[in-house]
Amino acid sequence: MPSSSWIKRLAPAAGCLAVALVSTAVARVEPQDRDGIAERMARAAQSMLAALPDKLSSNARAAHGDPERTQWAFGPVQREGLAIGALDEDQVAALEELLDTALSTDGMTMWRQVRRLETELRRLESTPEKVATHRDPDLYWLRVYGEPGPEQRWSWRFEGHHLALHVDCRAGRTPSVTPFFVGARPVLAVPNSADPEASAPRSTVDVFGALNEDYRSALEGGGDALPESEQPRPRDIRMGPGSDSLPGEDGVRFADLKPEVREGIAALMSTYLELLDEPLRVPYSFDPQRAGAVRFMRWGGSDLDGPRAWTLLTPRFALELFTTDGPNHVHAVLRDVDRDFGGE
């Protein structure tokens, strides 16, 4: 398994699942912001906007009711808002202070790796006839909807290739962070001409390298307990842009899986959820003894070089992971029908 300082390995205690899910046996209660995270976000956003000249500040802002707020993408396409390429070093630092209020230490490392990878992708995909200009570490956009403050509702979005984070803040409530998408694409080590022992960054291999280990452990413990879905192969994540409802109840009941399989799945999903700051994971915590309505769908065999898909589905939210053309090209998304875009 590739080494990575930020990936926390999961060691569940006997009989205890560490995966984060919502309790489906009780009515949903909107989590109260006892950690003051919404206020910290407001201060960070105010500082970020104050650091911008008028023209850039105007690009970064939009009305909270702008219908563009609930449109999203995770590919290398143009967005509305303020691009990182327009910022100086101090302004980028202010932007990252805002990001740090939503992402964990692991999540911030992930963001920097994903951004850095764009430079490698441009080098690999460019030809003498045409430069792959759509691969650019400066093509990530911030947009703030409404006026940041601890007493009113406002939102912010940060998007670019393989990253989409949508945060909605209301007084007294833990901010929502969905849709939350993270992707990773492998870059093979390339010898440096000046130093044959040196290699190009393997950023995304580190980002989701643990998934392969967790996936294998779930398979080895599960055997026939994880049947193939009868559905055709998904083309990609099913809850991407344009989808506003959860998939059908396919797969198997999570509670019916063997304990060691549940632990393997728990590790798989926690690798992704730990990218978020801890208070923001609270809506997805639960008592595993009351998870009767949770289902798990797996598509794909045990071949780690082939495409695979997993969906952890509850009546209110789903966490989905999909490998496209190789074991480390991963698309992962958290969608919440109650809290996407703050509950629109």
What is the model's pLDDT at position 103? 96
Written as one string, the DSSP assignment of 11-57 is -PPTT--------SSS---PPB-TT-HHHHHHHHHHHHHHTS-HHHH
Q: Torsion angle of alpha carbons 96, 107, 123, 132, nearest 10°? A: -70
H/E stretch holding 197 reads none
How distant is the alpha carbon of residue 42 from its chain centre? Answer: 22
Cα separation of 96 and 102, whole Å? 10
Q: CA nearest 120: which of 198, 201, 184?
A: 201
Please give the model's pTM, rounded to 2 decimal places.
0.82
Residue with tokens 């995909």: 125
pLDDT in tens, the chain (344 residues): 333 332 233 233 223 333 444 433 334 557 788 788 999 999 999 999 999 999 999 999 999 999 999 999 998 889 999 999 999 999 999 999 999 999 999 899 889 888 888 888 888 888 889 988 888 899 999 999 999 998 999 999 999 999 999 999 999 899 999 999 998 765 433 333 344 333 333 333 343 444 555 555 555 544 444 555 555 667 788 888 988 877 776 677 888 877 777 777 777 777 788 899 999 988 887 555 566 778 888 777 666 566 778 888 888 888 888 877 666 678 889 999 889 999 86
> Which residue type sits at 5?
S
Residue-level pLDDT at 167 = 97
Q: According to the model, what pLDDT value does residue 327 have?
A: 64
DSSP-based three-state secondary structure for 310: strand
Task: Retrieve residue 100's tokens.
Answer: 């740090």
pLDDT of residue 22: 40
The dihedral built from the CA positions of residue 314, 319, 325 and 327, taken in this order, carries a sign that is negative
What is the spatial distance between Cα 299 and Cα 316, in angstroms, rounded to a whole number?
22
Which one, of 122, 108, 126, 89, lies nearest residue 200 by Cα? 122
Beta strands in 246-307 (DSSP E): 252-253, 295-299
Backbone angles phi, psi at 132, to 5 degrees: -80, 75
- The torsion angles phi and psi of 253, rounded to 5 degrees, stand at -65, 130
Residue 243 DSSP one-character state: -
CA-to-CA distance for 250 and 34, rounded, in angstroms?
36
